[in-house]
Structure 1
């Protein structure tokens, strides 16, 4: 039989009190977050615009995080706060190279956060004022601003049956007996060499690899510089290609031409479809 003295009882009471307080320290009450849900982000001037893969979210001017779409993420803030959302892209189509697109404005809204509440947003962005589109081609007009180089034995033509947007796309075709196709802008393009962002936007689909690059003209020579090789894509895809890195790597460059080409190393015909080409800074 166990007997408790007053001293034992006092000690036991103190011990239990410390134990319960310790539990409160180890397992404090957790805040119940609110949530933001964003399924997609749209471009107001082009609802069919694709390739916007992420959202960059700021709350009260501080970056909360970068979220791949569709996204649902927690927010611990309570009450009224300001949200700023920017459209994110995969630079050069590379999943590990993500950035917000610098030529779109941000979507901004004030809202009230409550514990457990889901706020569903449908952000719409547009091109910022002052953006320079220095060359574009949508293949909807008579003629094209692309020309084949002399060594090409493939063809480029207008296509009306397989179009991403508008009336026509461009179709590059190399039969299994053809080896090379390359075309370039028929005019020179002036681009800033001051480390400001420059991008080439393009919708495409293809059953074989093709490449995109810049011809860089200095006072003494022309440099043929491929930038990226695009893998085949059975569905229309949108890509944002960084041109600024190439321009800045050649400070001697005075003017430029964009080129697009393919080498057919397969036993099948190569078909490449292009639409909505644009160089922007």
Structure 2
């Protein structure tokens, strides 16, 4: 008897709770569009992006982070301030979603209506204060140097099967049983203040794994710090991808008065005879 009474009480309580909930409004958010910021005068380079997430806030209350596109119920109606922050998979890891600090929030004042859907098409652009270092392989001289002491393979420019975000050229490294090792680094020393947000954005198309690193150039010497590894893609299904690699932690750990370079390295993938990056 006591078990049955408990079940009935639980059911009645649950029914009462559902009955008191108001009908929701619905918010639908489509994929992101990245636009040029005219204040940057093209300094942001080709406008490729991999903004896969949206961090949603309504009237300054966080609703959650969602993979675009999505449609969610909102237990609110009337005129609202809606902020949608562009978010990424930090370091390419699905479990580490983060608002990208260099992109502007999409903000609107709109009316939510119960049982109706408000559809938003979020647009963002790089913030005007963003500083860029870009290698797009378009110039006569590129600032990525093969290590003369260790590298066997070489980076060269190519233009086969161009995608819109490639511009006119892209960098390409061909690996084989002879050219089985590639080591390279950027030529220019870049100063980045400790504690500041810093990212490496890479568009890549690879059938060989690639390891990125951050080089400290300091009065005490030069040190290469291994960072994120980009896994090889299958030759049958390889596509262009984009990753956002966070550098802040490595920069903070650097010796004082350090400047920085990027490093890249790879060995021919095991079991393969010809691969590309």
The TM-score normalised by the length of structure 2 is 0.85
How much is the aligned-residue C-alpha RMSD, in angstroms?
1.9
Cα deviation for residue 26 of structure 1 reads: 5.3
Superimposed CA distance per residue, residues 223-248 of structure 1 (whole angstroms, 9 cap, x where no aligned partner): 11110110123100010000111111
Shift >4 Å, 4+ stretches: 21-27
Map of 1:175 onto structure 2: 176
Map of 2:212 onto structure 1: 212
The answer on whether the counterparts of 1:211 and 1:227 sit within 8 Å (CA) in structure 2 is: yes
Cα deviation for residue 22 of structure 1 reads: 7.9
Cα deviation for residue 62 of structure 1 reads: 1.5
Map of 1:270 onto structure 2: 275
Residues 223/230 of structure 1: CA separation in 2 closer, same or farther (3 Å cut): same
The question of 1:32 aligning with 2:23 is answered: yes
What does 1:32-181 align with in structure 2 at a 5 Å threshold?
32-45=23-36, 49-133=48-132, 135-150=133-148, 151-164=150-163, 165-181=166-182
Inter-partner Cα distance in structure 2 for 1:78 and 1:47: 40
> Could you say what secondary structure the match of 1:247 adopts?
helix
Residues 96/163 of structure 1: CA separation in 2 closer, same or farther (3 Å cut): same
Residues 76/161 of structure 1: CA separation in 2 closer, same or farther (3 Å cut): same
- 258-267 vs 213-222, greater mean Cα deviation: 258-267
Q: Which has the larger radius of gyration?
A: 1
> Could you say what secondary structure the match of 1:28 adopts?
helix
> Could you say what secondary structure the match of 2:276 adopts?
strand
Map of 2:203 onto structure 1: 203
Cα deviation for residue 80 of structure 1 reads: 0.3
Inter-partner Cα distance in structure 1 for 2:214 and 2:14: 65
The TM-score normalised by the length of structure 1 is 0.84
Inter-partner Cα distance in structure 2 for 1:22 and 1:109: 38
- 99-108 vs 39-48, greater mean Cα deviation: 39-48
Superimposed CA distance per residue, residues 36-83 of structure 1 (whole angstroms, 9 cap, x where no aligned partner): 111201111289623111000111112111001121111111100000
Cα deviation for residue 265 of structure 1 reads: 4.1
Inter-partner Cα distance in structure 2 for 1:129 and 1:86: 16
- 246-255 vs 52-61, greater mean Cα deviation: 246-255
More strand by share: 1
Inter-partner Cα distance in structure 1 for 2:70 and 2:208: 32
Structure 2 gaps, min length 5: 1-11, 37-44
Inter-partner Cα distance in structure 2 for 1:23 and 1:201: 49
Inter-partner Cα distance in structure 2 for 1:229 and 1:145: 21
Q: Match for 1:256 among 257, 260, 263? A: 260
The answer on whether the counterparts of 2:208 and 2:269 sit within 8 Å (CA) in structure 1 is: no
